[in-house]
Amino acid sequence: MGVNVLDIRRQTRWRPTWFVEAEKDGMRHDVVVRGDRVDTQAYPLQHEMAFHRILHDNGVKVPELYGYLPEIDALILELVPGRPDFGGVSEADRDVIVDEYLQELVKVHQLPIEPFTQAGIIRAAAGEDPALVHRSRMIKNWRAKKAAPDPFTEFCLGWMRRHPPRSDGREAPIICDTGQFHHDRGHLTAVLDLEFGHIGDPLIDLAVWRMRDTLIPFGDFATLYARYEELSGTFVDLEMIKRHTFASTLGNQLMFGPAVADPVSDTDLMNNMQWNSETNLHATETLAELLDIELPTVTAPEPRITRQDKTFAHLVESLKVDTADYLLKHDLRLAFRMARHLQRAHQIGDQIIEDDLDDLHALLGRRPATFAEGDAALEEFVLADAADGRHDEALIKLFHRRNLRVHLQLGPAGSSMATHLPMRPFPAAVAAPSERNHP
């Protein structure tokens, strides 16, 4: 690129990324170097680069792509100004920014497919539904890495086979991880994170977005869907969005379940565990909403008292170290979260196993002796029921209790790790024109 590098700072997150301060021809020319994930992959980085380049070449507001570094398998991207959240932003300004994002999303969906297929972008094969191409790829990768019973994922996949999302003729370039963008001074600056981009059902983009809304409120989705209809001239099928939403809740478990089960040295383990737990709860909540099932709750067990309590407390406190080294500070933060998880599991984990086994006794008519035996027996039961789903309601309630108990162990009660943020209920319908609130 012919730049003079002034400083390099690693972004402290799960995907290797560096912010590079640089100069070119006497002017600041800062860039982002974005590597590939360390413990899981949906598409090769070259696939992301090709998808990104086509969007940029067609006028979509994405960062400029400067090149590729084969030595470290990383992209060089424009560093765009702005921020991803709406803290301190007025509702009116947020609505303007979100509407600008919707316009970019429609622009992506209306691009011709041919340049993408010519560049090797993933597309449904003949006879395959575009609504399923991404999910099928994720499932295949998950099965290749599955090393132990995973009854919850098997149950969800069985339900989705019986009730699949359908594209009904829709096919377009899609981002597939929507709601990620920067804005600055009241306007959108760039659409970000295109690693899952492929050719699929555009309704996926409208469904996935709902999960990110638990962290960054984007506004009323009935209104957003109505605005999408207006901009695109296409019908938003809410029933298919519901099915796509359920399918999308499985994304973290399919991607990061194997990484949690067998982490590598660079795995951001607690983040992955929290993501999986959070969206597994979204999955049971979505099914309950679709099927009009009242979900159960669980009560956290009383922490047991053991000889190791002081040791766990000392370990947690010893990791509260303040340091000017931002990389060390990040590593200590990860270790702190892991220590608090282990402390919480030590306090209540044994009772949670007993509660799970009690649930299995009621379902199976026998009580497995261990959690491992219980997981195997439950998966066997799930697979036997997968074809017709006669026990769907009982299993949804059972898995919701199990998922809640997993979440209880991520950290102390009230901590961010152990706090669950449900998605908003599905809109009853797309907003009528008189109800729409957009710029």
**Is the per-residue pLDDT at 430 higher than 80?**
no
In three-state secondary structure terms, 26 is coil
Average pLDDT (132-147) is: 96
Share the mean pLDDT of the chain. 95
Closest CA to 280 of 372, 391, 390, 407: 407
Burial group, residue 393, by CB count within 10 angstroms (0-12, 13-18, 19+): middle
**CATH 3.90.1200.10 domain range(s) in the chain:** 91-263+424-435
**Is the per-residue pLDDT at 202 higher than 60?**
yes
Interatomic CA distance for residues 394 and 161, integer angstroms: 18
Domain covering 91-263+424-435: architecture: Alpha-Beta Complex (3.90)
pLDDT score recorded for residue 431? 65
DSSP classification of residue 173:
E
pLDDT score recorded for residue 38? 82
Closest CA to 228 of 245, 246, 206: 206
Interatomic CA distance for residues 233 and 236, integer angstroms: 10
pTM of the predicted model as reported, rounded to 2 decimal places: 0.94
- Amino acid symbol at 298: V
CATH class, domain 4-78, is: alpha beta
Q: At what angle do helices 326-364 and 309-318 cross, to 10 degrees?
A: 140
pLDDT score recorded for residue 435? 53
**Is the per-residue pLDDT at 364 higher than 90?**
yes
**Is the per-residue pLDDT at 330 higher than 80?**
yes
Residues listed for the chain: 439
Average pLDDT (403-411) is: 98
**CATH 3.30.200 domain range(s) in the chain:** 4-78
pLDDT score recorded for residue 14? 81
**Is the per-residue pLDDT at 356 higher than 70?**
yes
SS percent in the chain: helix, strand, coil, step 5: 50, 10, 40
Interatomic CA distance for residues 408 and 301, integer angstroms: 9
In three-state secondary structure terms, 157 is helix
Percent of the chain topping pLDDT 90: 91
Interatomic CA distance for residues 19 and 37, integer angstroms: 17
**Is the per-residue pLDDT at 439 higher than 70?**
no
pLDDT digits (tens, 9 = 90+) for 374-401: 999 999 999 999 999 999 999 999 999 9
Average pLDDT (187-201) is: 98
Average pLDDT (220-240) is: 97
**Is the per-residue pLDDT at 436 higher than 60?**
no
